[in-house]
Amino acid sequence: MALVQGQEVWRPTQQRQEQSGLWHYMNWLRDSRGRDFSDYEALWQWSATDIEGFWRSIWDYFDVQADGDPTQVLASRRMPGAEWFPGTRLNYAEHIFRQASDQRPAIIARCEGQTPVEVSWQQLQRDVGALAASLRGLGIGRGDRVVAYLPNVPQTVVAFLACASIGAIWSSCAPEMGVSVVLDRFQQIAPKLIFATDSYTYAGRQFDRREVLDEVLQGLPDIAQVIHVPGPLFGSDAEHAAVPWRDCLSWDEATRHAVPLQFERLPFSHPLWVVYSSGTTGLPKAMVHSHGGIVLTHLKTNRLQHDVLPGDRFMFLGSTGWIVWNLMIGSLLAGATVVLSDGNPTAPHDDALWDFIDQYQVSIFGCGAAFLIKSMKDGVSPKKGRQFEKLRAINSTGSPLPLDAYAWVYESVKGDLWLASISGGTDIASGFVACAPILPVNAGEIQCRELGVAAHAFNEQGQKVVAEVGELVITEPMPSMPVFFWNDESGARYHDSY
């Protein structure tokens, strides 16, 4: 099938549109707010102009749990420095566990070379509570930075949610990153504790990271405690002694004692995590996102744009050093089961990940466009011998998806599939332009601008342009814009970056 740019390749049925989270939200706006929009573009126009009305509707529609009065949405509209929902207090992890259910697992994890595992909501809550209590016992509390040198495994999710529950600030790097790359990031924020693995597996090989982490620790003098998350080389308690790091506590010790999980409600703008730019133009920018901003944005993005529904299984292929990991964990806010994949997706054979997606009934699969292109070039035929009964959407990001890859997906994966090309950034931990479940898919095109994102193209004269190449400009504030850059007290680096 040869496609041309802009050719329609998929259109949602009326039934599918009406079952979407976005359709329900639009009906709620009509019934509760008296706002009746004829199509997505009209809804977007309102959301990008009446930003206070839109974000208050997101707060109310998703019944955000907080202390304080949310009446004042914006105390300041300046960019950077917008102040959202002043006087309110909430917690990201608390909103995650509102979705706890004994009807579905919280996590399914595929780790190369191992049997996939499922983590129940009960187990997740138990482990997060135990670890949060251990962190408090180690003197970690609100505002302290906690970092992770971990792969995409369930323990990483537990560690992140434990930090969020007590108001500690999370930051992570993938274990394949080298010493200088890690220190360029972590040294900026002076962490007090690190979660670290000794090894990881990729393409059938096990990589020992003990010496790398030892060098990292030498460059982080404020680290008072290491919590060892066992990798494939040193997985037992007996082998824990072979890990040479100072002030080291095993994962089993840190999570041994069950303690009821408690959530500390924090100011809306309290830092949730620190994420980093690529560092191609200098030291990576250490961008801080807030509890409140991420709760609102990831509810909106996952539920309304990506149509993540309770009971879905959401998987995004990426490491703990890529912002899509954060977005994927945010799908727990929507009641999804998070599906983790660690290791080489094409091991032990080219279509190994497609086997897993089919067997574990993944509903929404996200990946870099490069993975789809590689599958195509390797001659993989995912639909051969597989039904993909539950798979209804693929999100492609990181680079443009060429027309022949669009054709390959519909011919070789599944004909009835919402193939959504999306583009966002670490800067906002979500999408600028992305997808909507009530719109058709045209080959080589992104479906829409995200709700609440006043995205425009500007020419060199600073004028908005349409159907012309221009610079992407966001003209109104968003809750998930960085609260600040770390070690940028004057705000000069933040201001100069945009």
Q: Can you give the length of the chain in residues?
A: 498
* Domain boundaries along the sequence of the chain: 120-254
Residue 300: its pLDDT value, please? Answer: 99
- Residue 287 pairs in a beta bridge with 275, 485
Residues 409-446 have pLDDT tens digits of 999 999 999 999 999 999 999 999 999 999 999 999 99
Mean per-residue pLDDT of the chain: 96
Rounded Cα–Cα distance for residues 481 and 76 (Å) = 14
Residues 89-133 have pLDDT tens digits of 999 999 999 999 999 999 999 999 999 999 999 999 999 999 999
Rounded Cα–Cα distance for residues 107 and 337 (Å) = 5
Residues 199-222 have pLDDT tens digits of 999 999 999 999 999 999 999 999
Residues 326-380 have pLDDT tens digits of 999 999 999 999 999 999 999 999 999 999 999 999 999 999 999 999 999 999 9
Say if residues 132 and 165 touch (Cβ distance below 8 Å).
yes
Residues 146-189 have pLDDT tens digits of 999 999 999 999 999 999 999 999 999 999 999 999 999 999 99
Give residue 396's identity as a one-letter amino acid code.
S
- What's the mean pLDDT in 33-59? 98
Residues 143-152 have pLDDT tens digits of 999 999 999 9
Confidence class for position 237, pLDDT limits 50, 70, 90:
low
The 10 Å Cβ neighbour count of residue 283 is: 14
Question: How many CA atoms lie within 13 Å of 295's alpha carbon, on the beta-carbon side?
Answer: 34
Confidence class for position 235, pLDDT limits 50, 70, 90:
low
H or E stretch at 227: strand 225-229
Rounded Cα–Cα distance for residues 270 and 268 (Å) = 6
Radius of gyration of the chain (CA): 22
Q: What is the pTM for the complete model shown?
A: 0.97
Residue 247: its pLDDT value, please? Answer: 84
- What's the mean pLDDT in 39-52? 98
Q: Which sign does the torsion angle of CA 285, 286, 291, 292 carry?
A: negative
Rounded Cα–Cα distance for residues 24 and 26 (Å) = 5
Residue 153: its pLDDT value, please? Answer: 98
Residue 281: its pLDDT value, please? Answer: 80
Q: How large is the angle between the packed helices 51-61 and 40-49, nearest 10 degrees?
A: 110
Confidence class for position 279, pLDDT limits 50, 70, 90:
confident
Say if residues 179 and 159 touch (Cβ distance below 8 Å).
no
Quick one: how far is CA 250 from the chain centroid? 27
Percent of the chain with pLDDT over 90: 93
Q: Does domain 120-254 sit in CATH 3.30.70.360?
A: no
- Sheet-wide strand order for 313-316: 117-120, 105-111, 337-342, 313-316, 364-368, 393-397, 418-421
Percent of the chain with pLDDT over 70: 98
